[in-house]
Amino acid sequence: MATASRPPSRIPTLPLLVLLPWASAAWAADASPKIVNGEAESGHPAVVSLGADFGSQRFSLCTGSIITTRIILTAAHCGADIPPEIIASAGRAYLGDRIDDPLYELRLNDMVLHPGYVPLQSGVGGQISENDFAVVILAEDSPVVPIPINWEPVTEDDVGREMLSVGYGASSGNGNGSGTKRSVTLVMTDYDEQFLFTNANRNPTEGNICSGDSGGPQLLQDAQGEWVQWAVHSWGYEGCGGLSASTRTDIGGDWLMEQIEAVHGSTDLCEVRGLYGDDICDEACEADPDCLPPLAALPGLNGTGFGDGSGGCSTGPARPSMLLVLLGLLGFWPRRRR
């Protein structure tokens, strides 16, 4: 598959705009249905606005994605210059379609930047960013199911895939329209050791991410229909057209797992995503107690759904176990997550 040449880590001139956490009001009353040439998004409840309330103004500074019950994944440049005490005292995660009327408002406890984070520096002799990851630690449990992360390496076979970007950023290159959740379909036109790249002119609506979408997820729908996060929105050309780049989640896998263990004391991804004990069977989670146990593990069964004769009485043809009949009548069969 033909691909565009991959940008080097240093180039003479960088006419780029880092997708900064804009210190401007979130114009939440703007109903413009775009990211840039995107559309309003009412799904993906684990995508959140990261911002704060200051007096009568509510700000949407960046976007993030809830990846465990207590952790939000976002971009390092969203909080690199914000003191931790401000994050803990004023920072909020807003869940819902619009930050002026959120479904939930979650308090923040801390923010941890990737130790290998290198900021982007525009201009002559500039530097492309590296490891643009941060995790925000929630002060309370998330009320929504977290987004799963892609841990597998990106390959040439992935170039050309259509992905979905979601964020609360501006709906135009002039910076207006942030505070409303929007989505846009992007085509992955190339990748390198840090980023997934997309060119706006290759996307179905010529859409792109913009200021305030920083830290949001770039998603790919897997064969089971589940949306999985493959990258974190990082930077793009000034004006929100042309090239944009999102940092690959697979390159931050080891560090992310360290943060998950530090917060939860576990690396069981099903456990930290809150998938146990929710009355839904997650077949990918081997230890999910909500899944029906193997028939052989049920009393009086031999794994076929019939008694094994060990009760000692009948020597005639085996009959369906009354236990299975009762379980079905009582609605014991588990629901499976779709």
Q: Residue 106: is its pLDDT beyond 80? A: yes
Task: Please state the separation of Cα 84 from the chain's center in Å.
Answer: 23
Judged by DSSP in three states, 49 sits in: strand
pLDDT at 3: 32
- Asked if 271 and 70 count as a contact pair (C-beta separation under 8 A), the reply is no
Locus of tokens 């643009």: 132
CA distances from 88 to 83, 109, 139 (A): 9, 5, 9
Q: Residue 125: is its pLDDT beyond 50? A: yes
Tell me the average pLDDT across 123-127: 76
Rg value, the chain, Cα: 23
Provide the pLDDT confidence category of residue 335 given band limits of 50, 70 and 90.
low
Q: What percent of the chain stands above pLDDT 70?
A: 72
DSSP H stretches of helix in the chain = 84-90, 253-264, 269-272, 322-329
Task: Please state the separation of Cα 54 from the chain's center in Å.
Answer: 27
**What is the rounded distance in angstroms from the CA atom of residue 94 to the CA atom of residue 63?**
10
Whole-model pTM: value is: 0.77
- Asked if 208 and 17 count as a contact pair (C-beta separation under 8 A), the reply is no
Q: Residue 228: is its pLDDT beyond 90? A: yes
**What is the rounded distance in angstroms from the CA atom of residue 3 to the CA atom of residue 99?**
38
Instruction: Give residue-wise pLDDT tens across range 250-284.
Output: 999 999 999 999 999 999 998 999 888 877 887 78
Structure tokens at 27: 């114009």
pLDDT higher at 178 or 63: 63
CA distances from 162 to 115, 157, 184, 190, 198 (A): 31, 12, 10, 12, 10
pLDDT at 299: 56
pLDDT at 177: 63
**Range with the poorest average pLDDT among 95-104, 114-123, 152-161, 282-291:** 282-291
Q: What are the φ and ψ backbone dihedral angles of 199, each rounded to 5 degrees?
A: -110, 130
Question: Up-side HSE of residue 32: CA atoms within 13 Å toward CB?
Answer: 18
Judged by DSSP in three states, 227 sits in: strand
**What is the rounded distance in angstroms from the CA atom of residue 162 to the CA atom of residue 158?**
9
Domain range annotation of the chain: 16-271, 285-338
**What is the rounded distance in angstroms from the CA atom of residue 161 to the CA atom of residue 242?**
18
Query: What is the chain's mean pLDDT, rounded?
Result: 78
pLDDT higher at 252 or 172: 252
Residues 6+ apart with CB under 8 A from 303: 294, 295, 296
Tell me the average pLDDT across 155-176: 83
Q: What residue type is assigned to position 253 of the chain?
A: G
Length of the chain counted residue by residue: 338
Residues 6+ apart with CB under 8 A from 266: 260, 272
Q: Residue 12: is its pLDDT beyond 80? A: no
- Asked if 28 and 100 count as a contact pair (C-beta separation under 8 A), the reply is yes
**What is the rounded distance in angstroms from the CA atom of residue 263 to the CA atom of residue 272?**
9
**Range with the poorest average pLDDT among 85-89, 220-224, 283-287:** 283-287
CA angle (194, 198, 203) in 5-degree steps: 160
pLDDT higher at 60 or 143: 143
pLDDT higher at 300 or 257: 257
Give the highest mean pLDDT range of 119-123, 144-148, 291-295. Answer: 144-148
Q: Give, for 291, the enclosing helix (H) or strand (E).
A: none
Tell me the average pLDDT across 2-14: 39
**Range with the poorest average pLDDT among 130-144, 149-163, 250-264, 317-331:** 317-331
> Thinking of the domain 16-271, which architecture would CATH place it in?
Beta Barrel (2.40)
pLDDT at 92: 93
Judged by DSSP in three states, 187 sits in: strand
- Asked if 52 and 61 count as a contact pair (C-beta separation under 8 A), the reply is yes
Give the highest mean pLDDT range of 84-93, 100-109, 205-214. Answer: 100-109
pLDDT at 315: 39
Q: Residue 60: is its pLDDT beyond 50? A: yes
Tell me the average pLDDT across 294-316: 47
pLDDT higher at 328 or 246: 246
Q: Residue 325: is its pLDDT beyond 70? A: no
pLDDT at 62: 93
